[in-house]
Amino acid sequence: MSVTAADQKLHIQTRINNEHTEFLCEPRHSLLEVLRDILQLTGSKEGCNNGNCGACNVILDGRLVNSCVVMAGEVQGAEVTTIEGLASESGELHPLQQKFLEHAALQCGVCTPGFIIAAKALLDRNPDPSEHDVRLWLAGNLCRCTGYDKIIRAVLDTAGPTNGNG
């Protein structure tokens, strides 16, 4: 990370969705602001802007984080995965995205990317979670439209039949 003298912008080099990415931003910018406003990766949503709703979730160096409370300068040299990074290059949906569609686990769509990213982080850590594990892990995500049962079922169905719910 370097700071340009003229306008005090940070020069960040990172990897986003498996691609080397460079950008300039102000020191006060959050990762969410950079993703949406500078890089035009608008899948991560701004819900609360204080880390309480999960709509802006991304995976940062293997950890689930709320991008609205991560300063953009913190991603220097890091690996970031957003909702845009889940589908294959050919456009094939990630299994979680497909199961969310099959289970109608979405409505207005504001919370959906955050839930999917959170579920991916869970399944990366625990590929065979119980229903209790899923509910506990997703407790940081809020939905005002769908309720949570279809979301939980979609995650469990993605995990597979060995969890007793497939």
pLDDT band, residue 161 (cuts 50/70/90):
low
Bridge partners (DSSP) listed for residue 28: none
Report how far Cα 90 is from the mean position of its chain's Cα atoms: 20
Token representation of residue 65? 């984080």
- pLDDT tens digits, one per residue of 117-128: 999 999 999 999
User: Within 10 Å of residue 19's Cβ, how many Cβ atoms?
Assistant: 8
End of a domain among 85, 105, 125? 85
Does residue 71 sit in the same domain as residue 143? Answer: no
This prediction has a pTM of: 0.91
pLDDT band, residue 166 (cuts 50/70/90):
very low
Does residue 77 sit in the same domain as residue 100? Answer: no
- Which pLDDT value is given to residue 1? 62
- pLDDT tens digits, one per residue of 52-70: 999 999 999 999 999 999 9
Does residue 36 sit in the same domain as residue 111? Answer: no
End-to-end CA distance of the chain: 46
> Is residue 166 one of the residues assigned to a domain?
no
Does residue 39 sit in the same domain as residue 9? Answer: yes
> Is residue 101 one of the residues assigned to a domain?
yes
End of a domain among 62, 85, 108? 85
Does residue 126 sit in the same domain as residue 60? Answer: no
- Indicate the DSSP class of residue 99: H
Domain that holds residue 157: 95-161
Report how far Cα 75 is from the mean position of its chain's Cα atoms: 15
Query: Does residue 20 register a pLDDT over 60?
Result: yes
The number of folded domains in the chain is 2
Does residue 77 sit in the same domain as residue 104? Answer: no
Does residue 81 sit in the same domain as residue 99? Answer: no
CATH number at residue 140: 1.10.150.120
